[in-house]
Structure 1
Amino acid sequence: MLNRYGIIVLTIVPVVTVSAITTCLSSDNQRVEVVDANRQLCCNGVHAKVLKNGDEQKCCEVIHHDSGTVKRQVYNSRTSFCCGGVLYHLQPSKNYAKPKCCGDMVLLNQTTEFCCGNKTYKRSPQHHQCFETDTKSFTIRSDEKVCSIYSKNRTEVKVYTRAQVKRNGSDCCGLTLYDQNDLFCFKEELWPYGSLPAECGPAHTVHDQTKTVCCQDTGKLIPIPESHAKYHNINPNYRCFKGRLFDGDIKDIFQYEGVVVPKHFKPCGSEYYDPSFSRGKVFCCNGTVNYARSDMDVRCCGNELIDNTEHNCCNDRKLPKSQGCCGNSIYDKYKSDLQCCGMQLYNNSYLCCRPYSGLEIPTLKRKRNDNTCCGKTTFHPLEGDCCGGKVYEKLAQKNQKCNGNGEVVNVTMLQPKLKDIRHQLNNSRDIGSEKPKRQRRINDCPACLPYEQPFQECTKRFRYQIYVRKIEAKPLITKVHVLLLEPSFMRKTKMVLKTSGKCKCFKPDTVYNLYSNRNLKEKIKVSKIFQSKFTERDMLFEVKGNFGDFRREHICKVERFYKPFVP
């Protein structure tokens, strides 16, 4: 500021650092000294916390067992360690990894020994590690498993031997051992795969949502009736209203009168269903309502749905894909030499001959010298020709042929004109003197479309969902290591998909929907082959996000018996 003479005067205010000031009795117990706790240590006198070489000093209450007195003694924490009233001196030549007290002993090397219940143990297969609870501590072997739960203000423990772990599994669910490949754990209870455990009501009662419905306001559990609609890979929408159970997909709550059925619903047996079901597909199968996801290839078989990629249907009976249906008979399509002819099974000693018109039932003919069908009759191609479902003597020998209408017509032999012969000779070339042109390589990379790609129509026989783990791209071949996610029976199967050329459209750590005419199930289940080719005729659509979302218009039409046109 300015004084009366116009001179600027500066006022300097000293900054004082506040220290943790305390007092300490001197080593001779004769006087009290002032101590700065941030920099000094009170231990039978005043000492510096940090020495000039950077070592830290600490205080140890050393117990003299002869006299029973306790004396406070300062020590260098780099060269000594205090534990249970005993001061241990560390050897400077050894590098100790954080010494630790164990009762009145000290652990100098925790990699070779450990503390358990205030006792030290050398690490070994018999004493592998320590398990501690609120009431006790004990050691366990390297091949043992401990399961524990906390209940009623105490911890319960159960130890399993190596044989029990091998027999039951290595995962704990409460006090029970289990194998994650067979069951899963929820709220310390074991559940089979396919169940949907959840908590219900104020008491948090655990129940299976596939068997009971929870009334959240009261905590009451209502069993799902057996005569309900069937759901395939889609959760039911059961709801509770005033202690009564109803299906939210086919009924609604009327504000004052309870449960009613909307007018636009259709009857199916004793149930009703919404034909415009928005959460997926809905079918009425022999009087039973069935629901499925929109992307599933399903059809009715009896009173339930079957997945066309996994099952066949024979007289309303669900069969595995390896079995076929012929009339009332069921046969193995892969392990037997039987085939179906109309409604009858036959082996390779017969011929299945279909009528020329296609309107009548085919018939079986035993093979003799004839090996080819012509309508319902048989013949040998070296001895005759077939035309219109009838067998004729060799037509070429009679200057005859079979036209497109199944009729035998005469062939008129035209004499070539002299000028036509001369014209062909003048325009002919010595083919042997020309070098053949190298055929251009066809790009075999499949159609690999990102999420933003515009829609492309396609029809394929099978749909798979794959996760790309790793890509090996070389100039002449590309190998894509994948993990199959769908169908469910092929889940967690690892395969290698190969294609000619170097394909750059794939991205690792990405999920794709693969539409193809290749039966991967037959390769895996029957032939035990975990490799397959894929070409430009296969379609892959990228799946976006972690929840399996993909563009609705990127769903190819799946027809199990689709036969592609190959030019």
Structure 2
Amino acid sequence: MCCRGIVNKKNGDKPACCKTQAYDAVKQVCCKGFLDKRHDGDTKCCGNQTYAQCKFMCCNGNIEPRKGLVPKCCGQEGYDAATKMCCKGNIFKRLGAKPKCCNDTMIDVSKKLCCDGIVRPKLGTNSKCCGSKRYDALTQLCCNGTMRNKVGEDPKCCGSKLYDATERVCCDGKLSKANGAQPKCCDMKAYDSAYQLCCEGRVRNMKGAMSKCCGRDAYDVAHFQCCEGRIEKREGARPFCCGRNAYDEAKSICCNGRLRNLKNVIVPLCCGNVLIDETESLCCENITVAKKGNSSACCGAEQYDRVSEICCEGVVNKQVGSKPMCCGNNVYDAAAELCCLGQVQGRIGKDPHCCGSSSYDAVSHMCCDGVVQHRFGLEPMCCEFTSFDAATHMCCVDEVVQKAEMVRPSCCRREIYDEVNSICCRGDLFPRAGIETKCCADVAYDNAKSLCCSGFLFNRTGVDPRCCDGDTYDVATHVCCNGLVKANVGVGETKCCGPYPYNADTELCCDGRVQPQVSVNTGCCGCKSFDASKYMCCSGVIRKMEGKAPACCSTRMYDEKMFECCNGILKKRP
């Protein structure tokens, strides 16, 4: 095999490259170009070294033993997160009711504060941080990093200033006097929202019970309407806007932003920005045309009579025959003619059809890829551009071949053959050696004597020979694991655990690692096996069952009748 431009001899059952060197991936591991021995399916890389994942962990390129119930890394060092904490590379023992990191040290937040990375002792239950300082939240407020003593009925912050929200309003960092019962902000000004509106940053007094904004002004919805930022008087029962003008839909119509009067118009219609009466005029491509009669209609920008004329793709034609229809932009009589790909052709015979741009009689002829051919024989069919009788001939690719006296005629490329005596393998003919003759890639073989695996032939040996990738094995003595042939293990059923075989009667596969069955109820916990009738798996940790109702709380075991688990914390039931 070729490894980065260097030819190597294939090594082992699963050959692979480690930089320029070949190795067996079943027995070895390649870690950043360095080869090491593979101990089991649990072997992993840590930099250029290997380790067993069930016993060790990789901490920033350093191999550390798994410690405690919840093993984690703190820089290059391992620790048990159930009993310790990592604060910026420093490991501390968990102390107090609520341990937490403050910069590179650990504190109990029930007793201390962490203010911008600085540890401060709590002065009481209401102690909080204001930047790097502490304050009493009961008597003070933190306003943008500045501590202020609370004053007034409803003290709040406005930037770094303190104010009483019952007397003043904070608008974009600026304090204003609170006006009215419902004070709000309009830009940087305060207003009473019970009687005023904020219209595009301007305070306006409400006008009427139903006031709204129209641009920067307020208006009464009951008597006025807003048309593109301009206040207009409401017109009629159904007021609408036409641009910046208001109008009554019962008296006027809006045509492309122009108001038109509906007086003396029976059937109004807009033609561009012009109003027309549909009983007198037509609108043909936004051009007004006077009607010549009741049967007038538009054909593009032109007028035509629907009784005597026909519109074909924007062209006016005189109607012809008893059944006038369009063929492209031309007219034809569908009772006597056909439209074949945009060309008018005469109807031929009893069953006229189109074949491309030509017409033919389907009783005596047929269409083969756009070419008209004679229909003949008992089973007329097409072979590309040629017709033939399928009862006596066959179409092999693009050639018509006579069947002769064959039981099961078939095609092998352009050659005809009898499937009873021969077999076609990728375009080549072979004589049948028996009823189980099959193809293996481009070669014929007897399936009773040989086995085809990934395009390669093997002699059938053993009780029940099968394929394993590009090799063979006997199911009675071996098993195929990840494309590798392995000998059966023990007297029971052999199964695969990744590339490794195991006895399913006495062992089981846990996360790619073979483990012993320790009881009738053996289960897996990560890469280890355990007795599920006596133990439980709690987040990857095996725990002995305790109490009448054993359950897991994160990695710990507890009795549900005595305790309850809330977000990984155990609390005694009242």
TM-score, normalising length: structure 1: 0.28
TM-score, normalising length: structure 2: 0.28
Give the helix-richer structure, 1 or 2: 1
Give the strand-richer structure, 1 or 2: 2
